[in-house]
Chain A
């Protein structure tokens, strides 16, 4: 009764590699074009404001590489940026939006500072790991609150993560001005953590070892996302959560997990800021890392491998911005405009690229 199957056709397997290379080239071109366009447009704005755009750009691009100090400053800036960008992109891969990176960073920093102050006398090989682990755990738990609300009650994670940021501001304010306040600082700041809680410094000018930690975390993220079973399940949920569910993946659990891991990385960023940069908890230490992390994640198009490189580019711009203000008189906020324009032109290139591809065929 069984008839023979449909004709056996060997699929054409010619342009596999070539097609891939072509797509990569197109990606690179769109990035380069977007960056150039952003600089051109921002340059026009700078010129209209009455400054010399070439001086401004020279300051931006060279500061990070002209001196060792500039480079270390850039790398130190890179650490929280890359971690917050990953805290955004990992849940994004499952289709969840973590807009609570700064809250998780601050709560992580608070927990690290608490451990570092309370147990200030412990030796470095005990206290330092403790400080870092406390930051990671606190960030994870803080993100889990939003994830639990989402999983249990269906509360939108965008809203809850954003609102929890405000909770974290309250926590930092309380801890820095009531609990372990340093009255000499003139700004809500805690007393320094114990010596043993500080990340070791290497080289000259000194660079803290949190940088190495961030490199390892970023590399591990790429491997986990691409190769591992949880990474595959995460991508499956992001690609089509319904199909993932039909095929036995526990979608709710994966989504919660992705937010908790994101929170842990943001918490690690907070811990490194405390243990490597400030040595204490300072109100406002979150800077605008959340916003930049989201911009980095979006410019990288959610690709974990691209995140560290994009983050480095943004760190260069950020470090260069104050030099630009000093040498060319251009307000440092101009850099934010450049970053926003890069993102906009990148999105624009998608539209144009799709049009071109359609009309060329």
Chain B
């Protein structure tokens, strides 16, 4: 590992006193960041800490209210991404902006000035890209069409795009989301190769494990402030967890979230005792030969599975392998094309959604804003949604709004929903509080079958821990839980059993404590079972 910040060298990048407000919200409050030469600099913090906002300021997507950016000793003014690129700043976002029908080369070249203008020397550029990709271990076929590439390969294209434009500072926003463990290792190898060639990398993440694996220096952010900068060698995961969470009393409650996946080899270290209980419980949910179509009418799911009462079963897989269709089909939201889904012996396939709900199916959808809430309606109304015809909230043709309000006030306390009042419109709440409403609604039905789809995506640390606790509580009370997630650490932590899906089929099954994440990664990539 090269650590050649020789004395006297100026830092490559220095951001000083960056402040950014969005209306009344202070997103960044005087943040400093110093990135040395040849280093992978981790930017660590929970969701909402301001990491991405800070980097969007650097890249010119947001204009800071106050503060300066110094690059290579010279103060620079970045008004838009074009300025950032010309100063040698490159950024890879979580959502790639690529033209699907173009080749890798065309996507990379797009928007740059070509010396051969007005003709295009794509062949020459393809060679240059091939050379870059070998040099940094980012192998991808320059002539492949982007639409055919996996998420991991598309990410390489984005990194190559930044390198091609001469990035000196490369910013990666949560780059490991949706990668298999193997792809993560390969990415980390490329990052080392990149810094060895004299560039620096800013690596945004909320996972301590990843920073410990690849970063040289770490800046921890919380609530829009920088709370510390430490060298990787001089710190411990516990210290980082303390910095991320801030409140010492809180650390013990949320360690599970911040140190997710720290045990090595992951999975094996966890005790299998929790599974023993589930093993003898009867199967509550039996799914057999389920076929569901995607929005284009193409079969996207074809599988069978069973969940015992009190068991948490995980569905692992790279996004887009039928998880959305599976979750929606099991929630009764998407029509089943074939097969049966039974809960406690009652087949629900083909019934209207309301019947599924009444039978005890509860669904926490992935896109909580699109599928989960009525934004303009109050918390009271949002909690009644789905139960308005049930005996609990109905009197004659009317909703018993007094009881609904009492229920809302109880839920606000029980689920620690931070809100001015029960009549506040849901749209005014934060993502974490919206998720708490959705959970409160799911649990108030006393579900027999709980389906959670990426339930902690975008949540801050306490809310994530809250979701974990509630999920375990549900299992303890005998609910059959299905957790569909793209976060392997989350699955490893919670699940008694993990099923790996690839192209809508189950390609492997592992019990708690009997696997490591690399095995899962292997299966997620669609490779045959080797063991």
Contact = CB atoms under 8 A, between A and B. Distances in A.
B420 A15 contact: yes
Given A1-B472, A243-B370, A246-B331, A361 B354 contact: no
B449 interface: no
A7 interface: yes
Nearest to B333: A246
Contacts, number: 121
A227 B399 contact: yes
A246 B329 CA distance: 11
A227 B400 CA distance: 8
Nearest to B367: A242
Residue of B331, B399, B418 contacting most chain A CB atoms (<10 Å): B399
Given A6-B463, A239-B377, A243-B370, A13 B398 contact: no
Interface in A1-51: 1-16, 19-20
A313 interface: no
Given A3-B469, A227-B399, A229-B389, A239 B375 contact: yes
A236 B250 CA distance: 37
A11 B385 contact: no
B356 interface: yes
A208 interface: no
Nearest to B249: A7
Contacts of B374: 235-236, 239-240, 243-244
A38 to B, nearest CB: 27
B413 A10 contact: yes
Contact of A6 (B253, B357, B413): B253
Interface residues of B, number: 55
A250 interface: yes
Contact of B401 (A19, A227, A240): A227
A7 B416 contact: yes
Given A229-B394, A243-B385, A246-B363, A3 B420 contact: no
B353 A246 contact: yes
B465 interface: yes
Contacts of B377: 235-236, 239
Contact residues on A (Cβ < 8 Å of other chain), bracket: 35 or more
A70 interface: no
Interface in B362-395: 363, 365, 370-377, 381, 384-386, 388-389, 394
B412 interface: yes
B23 A358 contact: yes
Residue of A15, A233, A247 contacting most chain B CB atoms (<10 Å): A247
Interface string A89-129: 00000000000000000000000000000000000000000
B395 to A, nearest CB: 10
A1 B472 CA distance: 9
A67 interface: no
A327 interface: no
B388 A240 contact: no
Contacts of B372: 243, 246
B416 A3 contact: no
A61 B282 CA distance: 76
B495 interface: no
Contacts of B381: 232, 235-236
23 contacts: A2-B469, A6-B465, A8-B413, A10-B413, A11-B417, A12-B420, A16-B423, A19-B420, A20-B423, A227-B399, A229-B394, A232-B381, A232-B388, A236-B385, A242-B371, A243-B371, A243-B372, A245-B333, A247-B353, A247-B386, A248-B358, A249-B386, A250-B354
Interface of B: 23-24, 250, 253, 256, 274, 331-333, 352-358, 363, 365, 370-377, 381, 384-386, 388-389, 394, 397-399, 401, 412-413, 416-421, 423, 462-463, 465-466, 469-470, 472-473, 476
